[in-house]
C-alpha cells in the first residue's frame, strides 16, 4: 500500500478513495465525496484480528495537512490497540464530552444566577412574610438601614462570597457608633438570612421562578459572636400593689383603646401584638373565649376569659369600627405594621408612668408579671405556659397532643380571676367579704 502524497490527495476524483498503512497499525483512508463541491474526508480503518472498524478523523479543512491526518490516525491506532472495543470507547468519550458540555452550560447559568447579599435579604424577608411573621417589614428595613444602604459594595456582592470579615466590619461600625442592642438584633437577622440561604437551592417551598441560587456552604455570621453585655436582662415584673396602681390609673392617663388593651394583657398575659390583631370574628361569645390564630409561636391558642377581661372585650365589641379590629388604630392604615402600633402602646405607657410613683416598666413587662403572679396564685407552670402559648419542646405535645385543655385553662383562669380580684382589682370589696370575728 503506497504512501499518500499531497498530489494524490489533490487529484482525488469524486467517489474515489486512497489509503496507506500506518506504523502503529491499521490504515489511513481518504475518500472524496460526490457533488458540485465534494468534501475529502480522512478515516482510520482497522481490519486486523477480525476487526472491521472505520472511524472518521476529519476533513481536509479540519486536518489541513497530511502530517496532521497521519498523526490523528496514529493516535486512533494506539487507542485501538489499548481497548477491546474502539467504537464503544469512542461513544463513551463522545457521551462524556457532551455531559461535560452540558455541565459547563449549567455551571455557567448557575454562576450567572448566583444571588447577591441584597437578594438574600429579600428572600429572607419573603420567607418571613410567607410564614405570616408580622415583623418581616421591620426586619428588612433594619437590614437595609444598617447593612445594604451603608455598604452598597456588599449589597451587590455574591452572597456566597460574603466573609466573616465583611460581617465583622458591618457590626464593628455599629459598635463604634455607640449602637448596642441593635447590634445583636442585626447580627441575628443576618445569621437567620444566611441560614435560609444555606438550604435555599434545595428548598422547593421558597425558591423563586427566576433560577436564583446562592450556593452557600457555610454561614459567615456564625464566627461573629453576639455581644453578651448588650443583651438586656429582662427581669422586671410588677408586684401586686404596682399592678393595682397601673390598673386603676390606665383609664385616666391612656387612650381608652390602649387602656382596655393593657387591662386585657393583665387578665390574659397575652402579647400586645397578638391582641392587636384580634377581630370580632376571633371572639367566641358562647364560651367567653378568644381563639387566637396568629400568635408569636405560630400555634393557635384557645383561651377562656375571666369576668374582667370579658367586660373589656364586650366594651371593645361595642365600640369597634369598620375595620373589624377590636383595637383599631387612629392612623390611616389600621392593618399596617403591627409593631408600629405596639410602639404607640409603649408610648402611652411611658406617658402614664410619669404620673405614677412606681419603678419604670414597659408593656412587655406585663406579660412577665402575669406569668410570675399566676405562679403565686397557685397555677402550675405547665398551665401558665399553655395559657400564654409558650412553645413546648416535648415531642408528644408538638406532634400528638391536640387536646386544647379548655377545662383546665378555664379552672386556671378562674383561679387567676380570684387572685386579681383579691390583690389587684377589687381588694376593698374582697376585704369587705371577710366576716369579722366577734367575741
Inside any domain, residue 392? yes
Task: Note whether 54 and 29 are within 8 A (CB).
Answer: yes
Say which CATH number the domain at 303 has.
Answer: 1.10.443.10
Inside any domain, residue 135? yes
Question: Count of domains in the chain?
Answer: 3
Would the pLDDT of 268 be above 50?
A: yes
Would the pLDDT of 360 be above 70?
A: yes
What is the rounded average pLDDT for all residues in the chain? 86
pLDDT (average), residues 324-338: 64
The answer to whether residues 25 and 58 belong to one domain is: yes
pLDDT of residue 249: 95
pLDDT of residue 406: 85
**Per-residue cell: 276:** 392587636
Alpha-carbon distance 48 to 341, whole Å? 90
The answer to whether residues 248 and 158 belong to one domain is: no
**H-type helices in 6-116, by residue range?**
6-10, 66-82, 86-112
Q: Which of 35, 69, 86 is the last residue of a domain?
A: 86
Cα 7 off chain centre by: 72
**Per-residue cell: 359:** 419603678
Task: Note whether 58 and 69 are within 8 A (CB).
Answer: yes
pLDDT (average), residues 142-164: 96
The answer to whether residues 343 and 386 belong to one domain is: yes
pLDDT (average), residues 139-143: 95
The answer to whether residues 195 and 256 belong to one domain is: no
The answer to whether residues 279 and 345 belong to one domain is: yes
Task: Express each pLDDT in 413-430 by its tens digit.
Answer: 999 999 999 999 987 654
The answer to whether residues 211 and 260 belong to one domain is: no
pLDDT of residue 434: 40
Say which CATH number the domain at 161 has.
Answer: 1.10.150
Q: What is the DSSP pairing of strand 40-46 with strand 53-59?
A: antiparallel
In terms of Cα–Cα distance, which of 237, 214, 94, 210 is closest to 162?
214
Q: What is the pTM of this model?
A: 0.56
The answer to whether residues 198 and 274 belong to one domain is: no
Inside any domain, residue 107? no
SS3 283: strand
pLDDT of residue 271: 85
Task: Express each pLDDT in 159-188 by its tens digit.
Answer: 999 999 999 999 999 999 999 889 999 999
Inside any domain, residue 353? yes
Inside any domain, residue 100? no
Q: Which of 196, 230, 264 is the last residue of a domain?
A: 230
Look up the domain containing 36 and give its range. 6-86
Torsion sign, CA atoms 86, 88, 91, 92: negative
The answer to whether residues 400 and 254 belong to one domain is: yes
Inside any domain, residue 91? no
The answer to whether residues 300 and 426 belong to one domain is: yes
pLDDT of residue 296: 63
Alpha-carbon distance 424 to 377, whole Å? 12
The answer to whether residues 247 and 308 belong to one domain is: yes
Give me the percent of the chain exceeding a pLDDT of 70: 89
In terms of Cα–Cα distance, which of 183, 211, 185, 212 is closest to 197?
212
Q: What secondary structure, in 3-state letters, does 300-358 show?
A: CEEEECCHHHHHHHHHHHHCCCCCCECCCCCCCCCCCCHHHHHHHHHHHHHHHHCCCCC
Length of the chain (residues): 439
Inside any domain, residue 340? yes
Q: Which of 77-86, 195-204, 282-291 has the highest mean pLDDT?
A: 195-204
Alpha-carbon distance 252 to 356, whole Å? 11
Inside any domain, residue 211? yes
Task: Express each pLDDT in 81-108 by its tens digit.
Answer: 888 788 888 888 888 888 888 887 777 7
The answer to whether residues 132 and 72 belong to one domain is: no
The answer to whether residues 225 and 248 belong to one domain is: no
Would the pLDDT of 42 be above 90?
A: yes
What is residue 399's DSSP assignment? Answer: I
Alpha-carbon distance 367 to 351, whole Å? 19
Which pLDDT band, with edges at 50, 70 and 90, does 380 fall under? Answer: very high
Q: Which of 211, 230, 249 is the last residue of a domain?
A: 230
Task: Express each pLDDT in 221-250 by its tens digit.
Answer: 999 998 888 766 568 889 999 999 999 999
Say which CATH number the domain at 37 has.
Answer: 3.30.160.390
pLDDT (average), residues 57-84: 90
In terms of Cα–Cα distance, which of 29, 26, 27, 53 is closest to 40?
29
Torsion sign, CA atoms 203, 204, 208, 213: positive
Give me the percent of the chain exceeding a pLDDT of 90: 50
Amino acid at each position: 500500500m503506497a504512501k499518500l502524497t499531497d498530489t494524490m490527495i489533490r487529484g482525488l476524483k469524486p467517489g474515489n478513495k486512497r489509503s496507506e498503512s500506518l506504523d502503529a497499525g491499521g490504515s489511513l483512508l481518504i475518500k472524496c465525496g460526490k457533488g458540485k463541491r465534494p468534501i475529502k474526508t480522512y478515516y482510520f480503518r482497522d481490519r486486523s484480528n477480525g476487526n472491521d472498524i472505520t472511524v472518521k478523523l476529519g476533513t481536509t479543512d479540519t486536518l489541513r495537512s497530511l502530517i496532521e491526518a497521519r498523526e490523528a490516525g496514529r493516535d486512533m491506532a494506539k487507542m485501538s490497540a489499548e481497548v477491546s472495543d474502539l467504537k464503544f470507547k469512542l461513544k463513551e468519550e463522545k457521551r462524556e464530552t457532551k455531559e461535560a458540555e452540558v455541565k459547563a452550560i449549567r455551571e455557567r447559568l448557575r454562576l450567572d444566577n448566583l444571588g447577591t447579599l441584597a437578594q438574600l435579604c429579600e428572600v429572607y424577608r419573603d420567607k418571613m412574610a410567607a410564614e405570616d411573621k408580622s415583623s418581616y417589614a421591620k426586619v428588612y428595613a433594619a437590614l437595609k438601614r444598617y447593612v445594604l444602604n451603608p455598604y452598597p459594595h456588599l449589597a451587590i456582592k455574591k452572597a456566597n462570597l460574603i466573609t466573616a470579615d465583611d460581617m465583622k466590619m458591618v457590626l464593628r461600625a455599629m459598635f463604634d457608633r455607640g449602637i448596642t442592642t441593635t447590634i445583636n438584633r442585626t447580627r441575628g437577622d443576618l445569621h437567620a438570612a444566611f441560614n435560609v440561604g444555606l438550604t435555599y437551592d434545595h428548598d422547593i417551598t421558597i425558591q423563586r421562578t427566576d433560577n436564583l441560587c446562592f450556593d452557600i456552604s457555610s454561614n459567615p455570621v456564625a464566627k461573629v459572636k453576639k455581644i453578651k453585655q448588650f443583651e438586656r436582662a429582662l427581669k422586671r415584673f410588677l408586684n401586686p400593689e404596682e399592678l393595682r396602681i397601673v390598673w386603676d390609673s390606665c383609664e385616666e392617663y391612656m387612650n381608652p383603646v390602649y387602656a382596655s388593651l393593657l387591662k386585657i394583657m393583665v387578665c390574659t398575659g397575652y402579647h400586645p401584638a397578638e391582641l392587636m390583631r384580634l377581630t370580632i370574628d376571633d371572639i367566641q361569645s358562647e364560651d367567653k373565649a378568644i381563639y387566637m390564630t396568629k400568635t408569636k409561636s405560630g400555634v393557635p391558642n384557645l383561651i377562656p376569659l375571666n369576668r374582667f377581661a370579658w367586660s373589656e372585650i364586650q366594651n371593645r365589641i361595642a365600640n369597634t369600627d369598620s375595620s373589624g379590629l377590636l383595637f383599631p388604630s387612629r392612623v390611616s392604615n389600621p392593618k399596617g405594621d403591627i409593631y408600629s402600633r405596639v410602639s404607640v402602646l409603649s408610648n402611652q405607657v411611658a406617658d402614664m408612668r410619669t404620673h405614677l410613683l412606681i419603678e419604670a416598666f414597659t408593656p412587655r413587662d406585663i406579660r412577665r408579671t402575669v406569668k410570675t403572679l399566676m405562679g403565686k396564685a397557685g397555677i402550675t407552670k405547665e398551665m401558665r405556659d399553655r395559657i400564654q402559648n409558650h412553645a413546648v419542646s416535648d415531642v408528644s405535645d408538638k406532634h400528638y397532643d391536640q387536646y386544647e385543655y379548655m377545662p383546665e385553662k378555664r379552672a386556671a383562669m378562674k383561679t387567676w380571676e380570684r387572685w386579681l380580684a383579691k390583690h389587684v382589682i377589687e381588694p376593698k370589696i374582697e376585704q369587705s367579704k371577710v366576716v369579722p370575728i366577734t367575741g
